Amino acid sequence: MITKKINPFKTGGHFGNFGGRYVPEMLIPALDELEKAYIKAKKDKSFKAEFESVLKTYSGRPTPLYFAANLTKQLKGAKIYLKQEGLGQTGSHKINNAIGQAILAKRMGKKRVIAETGAGQHGLATATVAAKFGFECEIFMGLTDIRRQRPNVFWMEQLGAKVTPVTTGSMTLKDAVNEAIRNWIETLENTHFLIGSVLSAHPYPVIVRDFQSVIGREVISQIKQAEGRLPDYLVACVGGGSNSIGLFHPFLQYDKIRMIGVEAGGIGLSPGKHAARFAKGREGVIEGYRSLFLQDGDGRSLETHSVAAGLDYIGVGPEHAYLNSIGRVNYVNASDAEVLESLRLLIKTEGIIPALESAHALAKGIELAKKLNKNKIIVINVSGRGDKDIFLIAEALNDKEWVSFLKSKVEEAEKK
Ligand SMILES: *Cc1c(COP(=O)(O)O)cnc(C)c1O
């Protein structure tokens, strides 16, 4: 199929029925300012040069495209290549966007950056660039999440960020978003709101997509070098949708390439047990944009669940909702159990520890590879490395030694 190119700067940020800008009147000038600054930066060679130089020298880009020979051999199907985003600074693709927005904020003369975070990965990436570029930094995080994600909170604080607990509502991500917006309205003059995925009101979904598209651009040249041709399939996990759109977007012009986005199937598709927006979401407007959301008939947000904190979110980027509506990308979901199985398989066959989020893409990529013949090529985006998930993975794999390790650490700490 031919994918029609949309210029979101001409459609007010609409991708078909989705996207747009549904925010309080007071935020419009700030979003206009950001849009203007971005359009200007995009045309400026020195902006591009700085972005590319920081990605290269600070974050280690290009990340490798690795042929998973052992895994391929074991599955006896299509050739599997892994794009190793976990090898970049802070261990996931989130840093690409954080670096891009930090450079943009600096050009806009902002002195302070704020962000909301659920699991803490985006907060960590934001605190990291704040330290590097010299911004004051405040991260809004639900108190429930702060309690669950101590390691990330620890690092954000070490990086110099103020982590502000949010105690309204369910004290999780959506409450942190509301609090961050409230704070932004009061501090627009000197503050940039650093959004972490292809979400929120226009122009954020476009800006984040463009910064993440470095992933797909690199894959195009790397796979040409390795195979002399483009792949047949692309597979990536979809939380808000930034690593997946980063991989997919540069390939959308190639009509024959099939793309698969994998969302969190959790422990089943009944309410509260998953974060499968494509399977179970309804169209609506939440947090400033129109998209698919997990909500009840009255528009109230439903609870979500995933073993991967980064996929555990009620909404999805508007461009994905659009690509789904026209049938260009196929969205499927992987269950927690499938995810843990594929995680174990990758660790054992290739010695690569993927993030739990990325293991969703692996689960469906592996399933697909088995069904295809040996001359097909699949690229799977490994959006992050799994060391951050040691607490969750050890718990999910029911590792008894891990529990006694934690107990002994507690005893040691109490003695001090
Ligand atoms: C946050 C995160 C995701 C999900 O976010 P997207 O915007 O959908 O990419 C996926 N993988 C990792 C490693 C993450 O940290």
What's the average model confidence in pLDDT over 184-188? Answer: 96
What does each C-alpha distance from 10 to 35, 255, 308 come to in angstroms? Answer: 12, 24, 36
Which has the higher per-residue pLDDT, 298 or 85?
Answer: 85
Look at ligand 1, atom 14, and give the residue with the nearest C-alpha.
310
pLDDT value for 5: 85
Decide whether any atom of ligand 1 lies within 6 Å of the 86 Cβ: no
Q: What is the pLDDT of residues 288-316, one digit of tens each?
A: 999 999 999 888 889 999 988 889 899 99
Q: Strands 136-142, 112-117: parallel, antiparallel or unpaired by DSSP?
A: parallel
Nearest-atom number in ligand 1 for the CA of 242 is 7
What's the average model confidence in pLDDT over 348-361? Answer: 97
Look at ligand 1, atom 7, and give the residue with the nearest C-alpha.
242
Question: ∠ at Cα 319 (318, 324), nearest 5°?
Answer: 100
Domain with CATH 3.40.50.1100 in the chain: 14-56+93-208, 62-91+213-396
Strand order in the sheet with 191-193: 162-166, 136-142, 112-117, 191-193
Mean residue pLDDT across the chain: 95
- Check residue 76 and give left, alpha or beta (phi > 0: left; psi -120 to 50: alpha): left
Nearest-atom number in ligand 1 for the CA of 121 is 15
Residue bearing tokens 């993030």: 355
* Whole-number percent of the chain with pLDDT over 90: 87
Q: Evaluate whether the domain defined by 14-56+93-208 bears CATH number 3.40.50.1100.
A: yes
Closest Cα to residue 188, out of 108, 119, 126?
Answer: 108
Query: What's the CA-to-centroid distance between 208 and ligand 1, angstroms?
Result: 12
Query: What's the CA-to-centroid distance between 298 and ligand 1, angstroms?
Result: 29
Look at ligand 1, atom 13, and give the residue with the nearest C-alpha.
384
What's the average model confidence in pLDDT over 262-287? Answer: 96
Please provide the DSSP assignment of 172-186 as one string.
SHHHHHHHHHHHHHH
Q: What is the pLDDT of residues 8-51, one digit of tens each?
A: 999 999 999 999 999 999 999 999 999 999 999 999 999 999 99
Contact at 8 Å (CB) between 307 and 4? no
Decide whether any atom of ligand 1 lies within 6 Å of the 243 Cβ: yes
Here the tokens at position 318 are 């508007």
Query: What's the CA-to-centroid distance between 358 and ligand 1, angstroms?
Result: 8
Closest Cα to residue 319, out of 211, 228, 199, 232?
Answer: 199
Decide whether any atom of ligand 1 lies within 6 Å of the 156 Cβ: no
Query: What's the CA-to-centroid distance between 356 and ligand 1, angstroms?
Result: 10
Decide whether any atom of ligand 1 lies within 6 Å of the 355 Cβ: yes
Instruction: Indicate the residue type of 337.
Output: A
Q: Using the predicted structure, report yes or no on whether residue 174 has a pLDDT greater than 90.
A: no
Query: Among all residues, which ones are annotated catalytic?
Result: 94, 116, 383
What's the average model confidence in pLDDT over 381-407? Answer: 90
Q: Which fold has domain 62-91+213-396?
A: Rossmann fold (3.40.50)
Decide whether any atom of ligand 1 lies within 6 Å of the 231 Cβ: no
Cβ burial of 133 (10 Å; 0-12, 13-18, 19+) is middle
Decide whether any atom of ligand 1 lies within 6 Å of the 191 Cβ: no
Question: d(Cα 9, Cα 276) in Å, to the nearest integer?
Answer: 29
Decide whether any atom of ligand 1 lies within 6 Å of the 242 Cβ: yes
Decide whether any atom of ligand 1 lies within 6 Å of the 357 Cβ: yes
Question: d(Cα 131, Cα 343) in Å, to the nearest integer?
Answer: 32
Query: What's the CA-to-centroid distance between 142 and ligand 1, angstroms?
Result: 19
What does each C-alpha distance from 163 to 118, 122, 154, 167 come to in angstroms? Answer: 12, 12, 9, 13
pLDDT confidence band for 4 (50 / 70 / 90)? confident
Nearest-atom number in ligand 1 for the CA of 119 is 1
Decide whether any atom of ligand 1 lies within 6 Å of the 240 Cβ: yes
Decide whether any atom of ligand 1 lies within 6 Å of the 241 Cβ: yes
Q: Using the predicted structure, report yes or no on whether residue 1 has a pLDDT greater than 60.
A: no
Look at ligand 1, atom 3, and give the residue with the nearest C-alpha.
310
Three-state SS for 301?
strand
Contact at 8 Å (CB) between 379 and 81? yes
pLDDT confidence band for 60 (50 / 70 / 90)? very high
- Choose one of 87, 121, 204, 307 to mutate for the ligand 1 pocket test, by most ligand atoms within 8 angstroms of C-beta: 121
Q: Which residues contact 226 (CB under 8 A, 6 or more apart)?
A: 65, 67, 81
Q: Using the predicted structure, report yes or no on whether residue 392 has a pLDDT greater than 90.
A: no
pLDDT confidence band for 2 (50 / 70 / 90)? low
Query: What's the CA-to-centroid distance between 237 and ligand 1, angstroms?
Result: 7
Nearest-atom number in ligand 1 for the CA of 196 is 7
Closest Cα to residue 93, out of 239, 254, 287?
Answer: 239
Closest Cα to residue 65, out of 307, 380, 286?
Answer: 380
Contact at 8 Å (CB) between 197 and 241? yes
Element (H, E) at 402: helix 400-415
Here the tokens at position 166 are 């949010």
pLDDT confidence band for 266 (50 / 70 / 90)? very high
Nearest-atom number in ligand 1 for the CA of 385 is 13
pLDDT value for 143: 93
Count other Cβ atoms within 10 Å, centred on residue 154: 13
Question: d(Cα 18, Cα 322) in Å, to the nearest integer?
Answer: 6
Here the tokens at position 246 are 């980063």
Question: ∠ at Cα 281 (275, 283), nearest 5°?
Answer: 140
Query: What's the CA-to-centroid distance between 382 and ligand 1, angstroms?
Result: 10
Look at ligand 1, atom 10, and give the residue with the nearest C-alpha.
357
Count other Cβ atoms within 10 Å, centred on residue 70: 14
Count other Cβ atoms within 10 Å, centred on residue 109: 10
